[in-house]
Structure 1
């Protein structure tokens, strides 16, 4: 099994400039390899493979791009391997009849990492040091032909390191160690199961009547983001002030993203620690945030109101909740803890009575479930109970559920 440990780097100015330089050269090689593949197929109908490009890399370093000699060889090879993986995924999508998505050229704001694919080219100083005032332990990470950089070792790594990825996020740099680890021991068995209905009013309603409140991180930061974006729009393109304004906007968005991830981590951890079986809806986010189709009057040809403004606000709230991220974290945490995670069809789950099974259509404004059988409870709680019942039925009759996998 693989587990990735991510640590913040604290490079000095010299090393940081070198990291930017290496990243720029890797991006250039990626775009050059992509251009070569496109031109070869367009002009002579030939498909160039990873090995074709790798074999000529030493000649390129010796005669054409001598600056590549200042970059570790395995890093450059991994760049070509990354390009090859992009083409393999493109061919797989074509074979499956999906939208192909041909590999695209990478701009400087899109290509943000390079990888050491094995243990060569880097070394982590294992010398133990006392933690600082914030509880951080700093060790040295030595990168061949780049330099030595301080690393915030906020937790110990477990397992054997297989790859090291140096990643840029805004103005910060991180080291991501992918480790091969043994499967951990499962948590003690729990005798509680839960169904979860994800929503906007509450982030999640549990089948036992509890709620996870929606933090609405983006909504809370929206006014600040608006002012920063307005300030950015007033800056002259290409100016030094505009570059600073771009960094301020990126920093504000990064804070919202980190807050959302922090909430998802903590909420998923609490659920996995408490419940043995977790049942969620199998939601397709792309369908939930689709814009409504335009309505046109057949006689006059004029466009009629279609609720696009209201749907845009709902789409923003759905995206702010980060349901996909939360479900993904629940999935892998459940796999590591020995729990069972089931995803069920969400069809009619909000319309079915959890007590008698009667189906009654409700509008979105109707937030209270009331049935002729006497069942009275919150609409989202009722939906969570229905989801739990469907999940238990799948497990009992042997229908293969969507279980958590590592």
Structure 2
């Protein structure tokens, strides 16, 4: 399992303390397969859009009920299970929303419950609360099923529909493409069992959709380690996306996608990203002279969005390959526990206290968004969890990793001569700045490993399965 940073156990003292988020003890994992599809007929398209509206209406109604109940002088609190019970009252009154079954409606109510839980959590921690909002058509694109009721995945087909397909109650049979069937069969062959389904509208018209099917009990790959016992420290940045220090002396810097050779066909990758970003800039300049929301403006916006998606897919592919390479080579991987939300906070300030260097901070925020440090960390954790065989992921305190000398341990801001150069004035250690930071991260991860070993190598606490609350039987009356 991948533990959250909030629930991850701490090991070690002081700045060297680390959080264990992957312990490599899982035999099965949960994964989602994402596939694209188009409605088979116009009637099927209308059914999907009506189902989407029904779930949105349910969300808004559940939110309104909670607000009205709490604003009442009695301060009544309504929980999710009470709202589940209201669905039975729709029979004979709103049969139009029961055509698709009760699971999509329950999923919408569960989203309301999760929104309020997150709201109260942010209130308790002093963050910006963000009270749950009603959803308009433009802000509601997903239909969900938390259980296997109301839909079915048939990879072998049926007598009436021999091709592999996805059946959704009230919508009908959705044929699956050959690439989708291959991906789904790979999960099924590893013992995966379909458990959840989400349908997402991919465009405004509803002519393109995406389905995400969750598979439980998926066997881990048990990927062997190329260097048993090795620990990798990873420093994530903007110019150098990943700087790696592995082993006692070996070190390697892996550049961002524009300058990296880690992926196959690296030259082609560099040229593709450069041409895509140049095309985006040209289209944005062309769009700036068009009437906003006009026909030509919308056409250019769609082209810009497609190019952004293409560039994002290329970078995502690079992150997956990088993560697989790191997990294949190393048994333990150490990352910084970065507070990316605070790092990308705006510098505009307020009218009373305006910010400083706003333009520079905006440029840094854009660079961080393009580098996406969380993307690499997420894929490393996913690949490590799937690999099994004792893989571990540690998150350590990032304070002063770029200013501390990895040779003597002295912390001095003047050691960072330039962005790429680190020179320790105390011991004379000279090295690439990002690799020096990666070595410090690795050292803190090793300290956390030692503390974890001294504690008896405890595993992560596995979450208990979510149980449905059943109605209690009436008490027996004495005769």
- Whether TM exceeds 0.5 here: the answer is yes
User: CA 1:379–1:220 in 2, change beyond 3 Å: closer, same or farther?
Assistant: farther
User: CA 1:402–1:396 in 2, change beyond 3 Å: closer, same or farther?
Assistant: same
Alpha-carbon contact 2:153-2:194 (below 8 Å) kept: no
| Residue of 141, 154, 159 corresponding to 2:166 | 141
Per the alignment, residue 33 of structure 2 pairs with 5
Per the alignment, residue 398 of structure 2 pairs with 346
Per the alignment, residue 134 of structure 1 pairs with none
| Residue of 175, 180, 198 corresponding to 2:216 | 180
CA distance in 2, matches of 1:383, 1:12: 54
Please report the RMSD computed on the Cα atoms of aligned residues, expressed in angstroms: 3.4
Q: TM-score, normalised by structure 1?
A: 0.84
State the 1:324 CA deviation. 1.0
Matched, 1:57 2:65: no
Alpha-carbon contact 1:332-1:405 (below 8 Å) kept: no
CA distance in 1, matches of 2:348, 2:399: 21
Per the alignment, residue 52 of structure 2 pairs with 23
Per the alignment, residue 154 of structure 1 pairs with 182
State the 1:405 CA deviation. 8.9
Matched, 1:357 2:409: yes
CA distance in 1, matches of 2:460, 2:324: 14
CA distance in 2, matches of 1:348, 1:403: 29
Q: Which moved more, 1:275-284 or 1:77-86?
A: 77-86
User: CA 1:38–1:237 in 2, change beyond 3 Å: closer, same or farther?
Assistant: farther
Per the alignment, residue 280 of structure 2 pairs with 225
Q: Which moved more, 1:160-169 or 1:183-192?
A: 183-192
CA distance in 2, matches of 1:167, 1:405: 32
Q: Which moved more, 1:28-37 or 1:197-206?
A: 28-37
- 1:3-402 superposed matches below 5 A: 3-14=31-42, 15-44=44-73, 45-63=75-93, 65-127=94-156, 139-151=164-176, 152-155=180-183, 156=185, 157-158=187-188, 159-170=192-203, 172-181=208-217, 183-184=219-220, 186-189=222-225, 190-207=228-245, 208-215=250-257, 221-229=276-284, 244-292=299-347, 306-337=356-387, 338-362=390-414, 365-372=418-425, 373-398=427-452
Count of aligned residue pairs for this structure pair: 392
What's the CA shift string for 1:180-213, capped at 9, x where partnerless? 2155253324243211111112111111331222
User: CA 1:87–1:287 in 2, change beyond 3 Å: closer, same or farther?
Assistant: closer
State the 1:316 CA deviation. 0.8
User: CA 1:96–1:294 in 2, change beyond 3 Å: closer, same or farther?
Assistant: closer
User: CA 1:111–1:294 in 2, change beyond 3 Å: closer, same or farther?
Assistant: closer
CA distance in 1, matches of 2:278, 2:84: 50
User: CA 1:209–1:292 in 2, change beyond 3 Å: closer, same or farther?
Assistant: same
CA distance in 2, matches of 1:405, 1:154: 34
- Partner SS for 1:100: coil
User: CA 1:8–1:365 in 2, change beyond 3 Å: closer, same or farther?
Assistant: same
Q: Which moved more, 1:146-155 or 1:43-52?
A: 43-52
Q: Which moved more, 1:148-157 or 1:251-260?
A: 251-260
Alpha-carbon contact 1:206-1:384 (below 8 Å) kept: yes
CA distance in 1, matches of 2:403, 2:67: 52
State the 1:19 CA deviation. 1.8
- Partner SS for 1:181: strand
Pick 1 or 2: higher relative contact order, CA cutoff 8 A, min separation 6: 2
User: CA 1:306–1:69 in 2, change beyond 3 Å: closer, same or farther?
Assistant: closer
Structure 2: 5+ residue stretches without partners = 1-28, 259-271, 463-479
Q: TM-score, normalised by structure 2?
A: 0.72
Per the alignment, residue 132 of structure 1 pairs with none
User: CA 1:402–1:221 in 2, change beyond 3 Å: closer, same or farther?
Assistant: farther
